[in-house]
Structure 1
Amino acid sequence: MSAPVTGCLRVPGASLHHEVRGRGPLLLLIPGGAGDAASYDGVADALAAEYTVAAYDPRGMSRSPLDDPGAGQRVADHADDARRLLDLLSPGEPARVFGASSGAITALHLLTAHPDRVARVVAHEPPVVEVLPDAAAHRALVARVQETLRARGPMPAMTEFAAGLRKDGDPAPSQAAVTLPPQAAARAGRTMANLPYFLGRIVPAFMSYAPDLHRLRDLADRLVLACGEDAHGEPPHRAAAFLADRVGTAPAPFPGGHVGLTTHPEEFAATLAGHLADPAARD
């Protein structure tokens, strides 16, 4: 794996650690969950054969500290961070953007707020549960997670959150099922340190986000809504598929489940590359 060039971008209220490798048109990778730029290590080199690949730690995560550690979070601010990175790394040229999970929500808002900066967005299972008919049940989950975080701490709260994102009736994963590949295990310490911030401020802000459906419908030719092939029935998959239907596109199947990026990196990178290509090149 080639070593990325690292940098730090000052933005209002934070400093953003970012990593760049490859050459060609810019592809910005937005992490989701409690992850950071390293969550893309398994796919970045493959994509860097065709693109200048940039990944970063979202504000408040890992190496991107907030000026005010207690500051509340808004999707719009995270999307503006992404826009500022595009301005830095691809000035004047619309870029391709991929986001996973909560990072996919950032990517959706980036597309609607700054369409001039975006050539194509691939949003993998954005948990925009506010679009679902059972949105109230997901609001109740977020409230339970917040209460568990306050009363018992981040690990029980994460267990509560993960259970709420499984398909009804699915058992909790066995220890063997969640064994991490070596690259993922190496970054596990930072991910664990990010959990209180993720659960306490990212989860409530992002899972209450309602996308602008009319705006997304107008921009649907630039949008791919990706769904994990093994995630049918899970809330993020349901939300992405429902959103695709509402904006008039077909959901795109991707390898694995909600974390297919980690569990199936080679297949995931190849699938993503296909959806990033210009339509004429795919025909």
Structure 2
Amino acid sequence: MAKLILHMLSPLKHMSPFDVNMALDAGYDSVTPYTNVTLEEIEPLVQDAMFSRSPRDAVRTGIFIGGKDAIQALDMVERAKKTLLKPFEISIFADPAGSFTTAAAMVACVEKVLKEKKQRSLSGTKIVVYGATGVVGFSSSVIAALEGAHVTLAGYNGPERVEKATHEIRKRFGVETYFADASDHEKVLDLLVNSEVALCAGKAGVQILSAEDISKAKNLLVSADVNAVPPLGIEGVGLHDDGKELPGGSCGIGALAIGNVKYQTEFRLFKKMATSDTPLAIDFRDAFKLARELV
């Protein structure tokens, strides 16, 4: 049987060791990183990977797209998909900075707690996303909005960047999201008290919400944090918390509870691609579908 070969493309200087380890552990025989890859280079790289194998073995060839920019990764996926030619089609999986699988895990964990402890669904729920211009924040905003949530992207440095992100989400995915200024604590708190779910996807080691903030948010149902570096993004939410009740009656979900689902999601998507009899194209939508099954 032909070897399982994975070509890992990144626009950055380095490919993530996390993703390399994941791919090898999932069963790939060969993993080769390509760095500083531009959008224009996707087509020739995919062609080389595709035409160097017989149609029978094409499905045992995969392309992984990394980096740290969700939009750039999605553009690379589209360019790669347009390059494919039957019967030489190969599989494609995008997960820039682990953001698609992390966002999928976070939203899936929130959905589970909402259902089990608050008898609510994502649809119609008011969600504020802090750190929304980052890859995880952006991706989780899209996932939640596609599930019918009322999503507001909070901009820590003003509304301009998050406003641009909402336009991008509407253009690419056909769903409405909203933007707000969160450039000072008063504005951060104002958004929180008017929301039912808070997703914290800010920089590592930066506290976004204090325990006092959480206690003041009487409408809050669930808050989730992906920051595992002290100080944590939400004071009072432990790393392993998975629906722990917080002062004020809301529930908290910690970074390692989310990370456990993220790890399983990424590993199983690599495994799925490696064992599939047909070529796959995997992005955050596939990640969320799987994460829902895992929580």
How would you bin the TM-score normalised by the shorter chain?
0.3 to 0.5
Indicate the structure with greater helix content. Answer: 1
Q: TM-score normalised to the size of structure 1?
A: 0.34
Q: TM-score normalised to the size of structure 2?
A: 0.33
Q: Which has the larger radius of gyration?
A: 2
